[in-house]
Amino acid sequence: MGVGDGLRSRSSRLANPAPSDPEQVWLRRSASTAYYALFHLLVGEAVERWSVSPGARVGLERAFQHTNMKEVSRTVKHGSWKGWSTPSPSVPVELWEVATAFLDLQGARHLADYDNSKTWTLTDAQHQIEIAESAFQNWRKIRTDAAANEYLLSLLVGKKRE
């Protein structure tokens, strides 16, 4: 089981705290963890495509930046993403769904981690878990697609130079 799968599983357990646990902390952590599950799934998938030493793999994993990943996902969502090949590969609907989920989950993570004025409900947390679950399912359908591979490269290096 990869880090992403482990975090996806953990986010579901965090959304169901014991009666004595501080509920807001657990619900917030659940929403945040749902984002990190997808983040680590995508990073792990990208790094898996390179055959590197364990030390180099860690370095490569650390090179992924949340902001860059957000911008690339935004271009996919809005239909302006250009892959690396010419012509650019068409974007499967599942990739669009993954990119949209990444944006939604990252926004929810920011709310959960930084906005103490929001009161989280179990329904809120479960919705984030459902988004992550759907993104995992969609990714597994397209993980070998050319557009998916080029998306992973874009997540690391940014947009293609014109």
Residue 7 lies in a domain: yes
Convert the pLDDT of each residue in 93-116 to its tens digit: 999 999 999 999 999 999 999 999
Residue 162 lies in a domain: no
User: Does pTM surpass 0.75?
Assistant: yes
Provide DSSP, the chain.
--HHHHHHHHHHHHTS--TTS-HHHHHHHHHHHHHHHHHHHHHHHHHHTS---HHHHHHHHHT--HHHHHHHHHHHHTT----SSSSPPP--HHHHHHHHHHHHHHHHHHHHHH-TTPPP-HHHHHHHHHHHHHHHHHHHHHTTSHHHHHHHHHHHH-SPP-
Overall number of domains in the chain: 1
Convert the pLDDT of each residue in 123-152 to its tens digit: 999 999 999 999 999 999 999 999 999 999
Residue 161 has pLDDT above 60, yes or no: no
Where in the sequence is the domain holding 80, given as residue range(s)? 3-157
